[in-house]
Each structure stands twice: as C-alpha cells, then as structure tokens.
Structure 1
Amino acid sequence: MTSPSATPIDLSTWPRRQHFEHYRSAVPCTYALTVDLDATAFVEALRDSTRKTYIAQIWALATAVNQHDEFRMCLTPDGAPATWPVVHPSFTVFNAARETFASVWAPYDPSFAAFHDTAAALLTEHRTATEMFPQGPPPANSFDVSSLPWTSFTGFSLAVQPGFDHLAPIFTLGRYVEREGSLRLPVALQVHHAAADGFHAARLLETVQGLLLEPGWVA
C-alpha cells in the first residue's frame, strides 16, 4: 500500500504555530502519560464475542487517533508540519519460542469486523516470525502500539533517539487489573510536545475511553 500525501498545515492560520516552533526547535521534548481506563464493559462484550481482545484494543486506539488531526501529524522533507488523511496501526506479535517479537501493521478500517479479519490473519501468519519487520518497513503514515500483557503498570515512558522528528503517538498497553469492582486497562501514551499539548492528549484518551465504555462495535 502506498502512503497517501500528507497535507501541509497552513502556518498563517494555525493556532499552535508558536507552540510547534517552540517544542520543535527551542525546547524539543516529548512527554508520557499513563492512565487506567475502565474496560469493564469492553471485556464483557468480548466474552460474548469471537473477536480477539488485542485486535479490539488496537482498533479502538486507531479509531481514536484517526479522529484527531494532531495525532496524525508528520514532517515534510523540509521540516514543516503536515497531517496525514489516515494513519494505520503498527503492532507487535510475540514469538514465545524465541522470546522475541515482530512488528506488523494493518490498514485502518472504520469497520471493526473488516479490520479484525485482516489483523487476525497477520497475527496468525507472523506469530513465528524471525524477522522484526516481516512485512518490510511500515508505511510512513503509521503509529506504534505495543502490549505488555504479562504485567500491569502505573507508569511507562520511552527514550526515543532521534525522537524529536517522530510526531506520531506511541501506545503501550498493560495487563488488566481489577480495582474497586471494575477492570482497568493501563494505557501509556508517548507524545511529541510539538504535535500535541496535554489538552489534546487528554481528549484522545477520553475518546478511547468512550469506545471502551460503549463497546457495541465489538459484535
């Protein structure tokens, strides 16, 4: 699949122009935010379904990301900000025998059923992969999701070098934990401050939370 063209942002009308320039050049930085999302209804819906939990988690993240321009940002060859019309999730698949993982990607589809079938086939095909990127390099318009289903966590951050050119969000998922009668899903979000501020990160995570609270799309 060929990546579509990213649309340059009109700097003359962009409210975040000064913020982008500050966090891109003067004080380049990223930040990480970890939250526990209420996944009770989501888990219940999956118990009554044949859908795979991991794929449903990935689709929820991809759906939220594609609703918000600031999380589909990239840089043009001359370093100017631009926005992809759509971004696709790149996600890990664990090879238990080797204790290594591969990274695969699936084209985002607003239909969960269609996305699920594509992603499920990829996870089956590459669960014994010995290459880190068995499909070849992911497309430019992709973002990363990884999962740590073996442990829960209350904080998680990445030190990405050279991360100051990487504007796409990075997600890490943990193991469910039961707390006060609800199942909680740890979600860590890594953000480039040039692309998004705390307000935008909070709104993105609220979008994900809404999808988990109303999981009728799982069926």
Structure 2
Amino acid sequence: MNSYTSIDLATWKRRGTFEYYRTFQNQLFNITLEFPATELYRYAKRNRLSFFLLTLHAILRAVNSVPQFRQRIVDGGQVIEFEHVAALTPIMTPEEEFVMALTEYAPSFAEFRGQAEAAVAAAKRGEFDPSVRQRNDFICASCVPWYGFRSLTQAALTLDQSIVILTWGEMDASGNIPLALQLNHALVDGLHVGRFHRALTGFLTAPASL
C-alpha cells in the first residue's frame, strides 16, 4: 500500500461539509463528461502504442493531480490522503470473462507501460491476486470500447464508499470520449471535478507530456 497522511478532522477546513454529507444515506454522485481524444489516438497509432494504456495512464495522472480524488474514508470516519493511487481495471479474457488488473501509478508512460502490460497479460490468463481488494489506494477504471454514452450511473457496493469509480467509452466521430465518474460528495465537489477535467484534457491534447 502507498504511503498516506491522516487528516486532522478537528482543524480540517472541510469538516463541516464532510460531516453534513456523512449524514446522507447515499453520499455518492455521478457525473458524465466528454473529453477530446483525437490527439492521443493519433499519437498512439504513430508510435505503435496501446490507445487503451495511454488513456488509462492519462486518467491516472489526472486523478493523482487532484488531492480529493486520493482521499479515502476509513475506520468509520477517519479521512486519509494517499501520496498516489493506482488503477484497478477489468480485462477481457479469450473466454469473454473479465479479470481485474492492478496498474500502479507512475509519473511517466514509459515507467507505467511495462508493469501495466504485465498486469494486463496476467489478467488475460485469468490471474489476479485477490489480496489486492484489501487495499483502497486505487481507483476502479473501466473501458467500454463498444459504444459511447451520454450518461452512466456506476454500481455501488455501499452508498458511502470513497473509492473513485470511473468508466470511459468509445471515441465518437468527432474524436471525443465519454467518461463517467462516481464520487463521494463528503470528499469531492464540482470544483474538484473541474480540476480533474482540466488536467485530463491537458494530457489528452498534449500526449507527448505523458
């Protein structure tokens, strides 16, 4: 598990908002955004790189740039903030089943690519270490390349979960991809979603920066 810091609720400026949303039976909200992916797609083709892994890395970079996306609620109400988070992503096997692959965070695609390719290859063979599910220093990131969507609501194991869950879809004729987020409102507001949106748009339109 990655290193983390504990947030002192007594001095945390968000304490009031946090405690308010913690009274909700359903603390989650879902939002679907659109992102330009033409430049990233061309970059992937030109350099013979995986469009899927490039997109996943761009998303992971953007997620890690927003502290609130790295925060988790643990032990009944304590808030921690991870130094960085990984991505847990479902990979389709030859039998059209799905096995999870854990791709660890890396600041550059060159560093990310090797371990991510190995994790994807293991998942395609049906290999997954279930102990990963004991961690919470990751996001759940799914790709549905068969179709686009205007809106998508994620499944929720519990209505107070704090792990970020997201799904992105097929690139449309205009070169845009939809991306749906599920977030815990006790930790995340629209302002933070906006920062994620700007960061991811920047990576997708300047892929050499990855």
What's the TM-score once normalised by structure 2's chain length?
0.92
1:153 is paired with a residue whose SS is coil
Alignment partner, residue 205 of structure 2: 213
Tell me if 1:136 matches 2:130: yes
Alignment partner, residue 143 of structure 2: 147
Counterpart residue identity of residue 176, structure 1 = M
What are structure 1's unaligned runs of at least 5 residues? none
**Selected match of 1:190 from 182, 187, 209:** 182
Aligned pair count reads: 208
**Selected match of 1:40 from 34, 38, 41:** 38
Deviation for aligned residue 1:27: 5.6
- Residue 112 of structure 1 contacts residue 217 of structure 1 at CA under 8 Å; is this kept in 2? no
Aligned-CA RMSD value: 1.6
Deviation string, structure 1 residues 54-79 (Cα, Å, up to 9, x no partner): 11111111111111110111123242
Alignment partner, residue 200 of structure 1: 192
Deviation for aligned residue 1:43: 1.0
- Structure 2: how far apart are the matches of 1:93 and 1:39? 21
Aligned ranges 1:1-219 → 2 under 5 Å? 3-26=1-24, 28-97=26-95, 99-129=96-126, 134-138=128-132, 139-164=135-160, 166-179=161-174, 183-217=175-209
- Residue 164 of structure 2 contacts residue 183 of structure 2 at CA under 8 Å; is this kept in 1? yes
- Structure 2: how far apart are the matches of 1:123 and 1:62? 16
Deviation for aligned residue 1:39: 0.8
Percent identity between matched residues is 27
What are structure 2's unaligned runs of at least 5 residues? none
- Residue 176 of structure 1 contacts residue 184 of structure 1 at CA under 8 Å; is this kept in 2? yes
Deviation string, structure 1 residues 3-37 (Cα, Å, up to 9, x no partner): 13431112233221111111112464211111110
What's the TM-score once normalised by structure 1's chain length?
0.88
- Structure 2: how far apart are the matches of 1:210 and 1:12? 36
